[in-house]
Structure 1
Amino acid sequence: MTDHTFRFGVVATPQDGDAWRATARRIAELGYSTLLMPDGLQLLAPFPSLAVAASVADIRVATFVLASPLRTPMAAAWDAHSMTVLTGGRFELGIGTGIPAAKQSAERLGMPYGTAAERLAQVGATIDRVRELEQADGPGDLRTPVLVAAGGPKSRTLAAEKADIVTLAAGPLANTDDMAAMAEDLRAKAGDRADAIELAMNIFVIGDDVPPWTKQFMGVDADELIAADALTMLRGTPQEMADELQRRRERIGTSYISVNAQFVEQFAPVVELLRDR
């Protein structure tokens, strides 16, 4: 299904500088490739936070994902390109149209939230501005990989045209058949680019227990996830989890796997089994 080897990331948010630096060092020690950070005014700002992380550990850093209404395309591209240059090419720009809570953040920033079509157009414009900044710098090896969170058909069309990495934004109860259909549609839209696109998957629950914050965010409990055979949950021994991820890669094409920081130690044996395979 894909020639992409496995790599693994951790989605985390900083509370203070010392703990954040320790988190970056620890995930690098455990073999994760990337530290990813969400976006929103309820959190610290992602670009300076990720710059700090990249300065203390030999890891990639990524936004996961920027909400397009919170910045103009040029402002987001400027920060992204600067991160790529300053980290020596270790930055990935993850971007999407934003979750519903982004509307309140946009209002507080004095930014128009826009329609769904306008927010998606901002995603495309941001990617274009990043590429323009790269061209303005002249020939070089530094290029910002762009991850697009794509849910509906229109966002998959944009991702197929412009993204290097795509995370298929399905509902919390989406199963293998659901995700495989989305991936097939993406590849069909991508045409000759299909093999170059890396497919990502964020797993919210490792093991049998759903943390309270995760249950609140997703709106489902463990029994519902298990009954649906949902891909947002991964259970079993480390070897069983590794086998399941290999099956998902074979069927769907997902090779870039991220987990929440709460599961970083629990999931580390799976990383050891599959990293670079």
Structure 2
Amino acid sequence: MTYSSRSRSAHGKERGTRAFRFGVSLLATGSRSAWQRKARQAEDLGYDVLLVPDHLGMLAPFPALVSAADVTSIRVGTFVLNSGLYRPAVLARDVADTDQLTDGRFELGLGAGYQDADFKAAGLPLPSRKQRIEQLARTVRQVRRLLTSADHRPMVRQKPHPPLMIAGRGARMLGLAGREADIVGLPLDAGVKPGTEPERALAERVALVRAEAGERADDLELNLLIAGVAVTPDRPDLPALRPFLPGLSEAEILRLPNVLLGSERQIAEQLRHLREAYGISYFSVVEPHMAAFARVIAQLR
């Protein structure tokens, strides 16, 4: 864990200030050469972590990450695997081999799954939200037990196991993340509900995670998925955001802490504020925002 200075949280508690990290989720592979060219571009633009989502009909996470690691020196990770589609023993095997084949640069991101289409494509019924969270909790416990066992083959490169991210929206998911994860992924809507003040909602989500983490709260890395980036006076593409942010008005979407508007310097200051006030130091974007957000990264190095 890298700390660069000391700061105080919004609650007055002194804690270490983590160095910024920036991730980008790439959405399509194409040919081997095209995929590896895109991976090198992400590294050249200043990203620290190359991420791959997990939806059937899109790229397969593990082989894509190994291929990307072959031509880059940055870390790689899943953002995030649908735990409902994986048996723990099979997942532990794939995680361990991926960690070995990426020279210990792999980060395991897990979620409970939320898209009915993924479960249907896998020939599985969509469990209830409670059942999906319980399944995720069991998977985390079993995969961790397997990866830390001296008898498990293959063995992981990173000890005791690759960093674990858990990402989700609701209180139960974020509570699980606070108790079990090394990295907590905060939701696309930043916890905002219609009629609530956006930054207050985000602060409440962070407070929930830290309360559940207890004594290990200061060891957590907090990630915020960026919903939109417009490094100009223009607005981000709201039609592209609305399907992922149902119930929020245009004005509420534009006020989300993770909808970034303004100059490179203004957005950089916004991210510094989120780190200073709430301890959020790891920011990730999806591929369409990769080039625009890179201009902000340059302000923060």
**TM-score normalised by the chain length of structure 1:** 0.89
Q: Is the 8 A contact 2:190 2:258 kept in 1?
A: yes
Query: Which residue identity does 1:253 align to in structure 2?
Result: G
Q: Residue 23 of structure 2 aligns to a residue in which SS? A: strand
Please say if residues 54 and 60 of structure 2, whose CA atoms lie closer than 8 Å, have aligned partners that are also in contact: yes
Q: Within 5 Å, which residues of 2 pair with 1:81-92? A: 81-92=96-107
Say if 1:148 and 1:163, in contact at 8 Å, map to a contact too. yes
Counterparts in 2 of 1:177-196, with a 5 A limit? 177-196=200-219
Is 2:145 aligned against 1:126? no
In 1, the alpha carbon distance for the partners of 2:166 and 2:275 equals 19
**CA contact 1:34–1:60 (8 Å) conserved in 2:** yes
1:110 lines up with 2:136 in the alignment: no
Closer/same/farther in 2, CA of residues 146 and 218 from structure 1, 3 Å limit: same
1:243 alignment partner, one of 269, 290, 293? 269
1:136 is paired with a residue whose SS is: coil
**Out of 30, 37, 57, which is 1:16 matched to?**
30
Distance 1:164 1:43 in 2: 27
Equivalent residue, structure 2, for 1:76: 91
Q: Residue 17 of structure 2 aligns to a residue in which SS? A: coil
State the secondary structure of the residue aligned to 2:200: helix
CA-based RMSD: 2.2
Match of 1:210 in 2: 237
Amino acid at match of 2:209: L
For residues 111-151 of structure 1, give each alpha carbon's deviation from its aligned partner in whole angstroms, at most 9, with x where no partner exists.
34322222112222222233223322479743211110132
The structure-2 alpha-carbon separation of the partners of 1:206 and 1:144, relative to structure 1 and needing over 3 Å to count, comes to same
Q: What does 1:108-187 correspond to in 2, within 5 Å?
A: 108-137=121-150, 141-142=158-159, 143-169=161-187, 171=189, 174=192, 175-187=198-210
Q: Sequence identity, in percent?
A: 35
Q: CA deviation at 1:108?
A: 2.6
Distance, in Å, in 1 between the alignment partners of 2:110 and 2:293 is 25
For the pair 1:5 / 2:22, whether they are aligned, the reply is no
In 1: Cα distance, 2:250 partner to 2:205 partner: 24
**Higher helix fraction: Structure 1 or Structure 2?**
1
Tell me which moved more, 138-147 or 152-161: 138-147
**Distance across 1 between alignment mates of 2:219 and 2:285:** 23
Q: Structure 2, unaligned stretches of length 5 or more?
A: 1-8, 10-15, 193-197
**Counterparts of 2:187 and 2:291 in 1: how far apart (Å)?**
25
Paired residues of 2:40 and 2:71 also in contact (CA < 8 A): yes
State the SS of the aligned residue for 1:62.
Answer: strand
- Determine if the alignment matches structure 1 residue 259 to structure 2 residue 285: yes
Are the equivalent residues in 2 in contact too, given 1:167–1:200 (CA < 8 A)? Answer: yes
8 Å CA contact 1:77, 1:127 repeated in 2: no
Q: Tell me if structure 2 keeps the 8 A contact 1:173–1:230.
A: no
Does the CA contact (< 8 Å) of 2:24 and 2:51 recur in 1? Answer: yes
- Greater Cα offset, 205-214 or 193-202: 205-214
- TM superposition score normalised by structure 2: 0.82
Q: 1:20 offset after TM fit, Å?
A: 1.6
Letter in 2 for 1:199: L
> Which runs of no fewer than 5 residues in structure 1 stay unpaired?
none
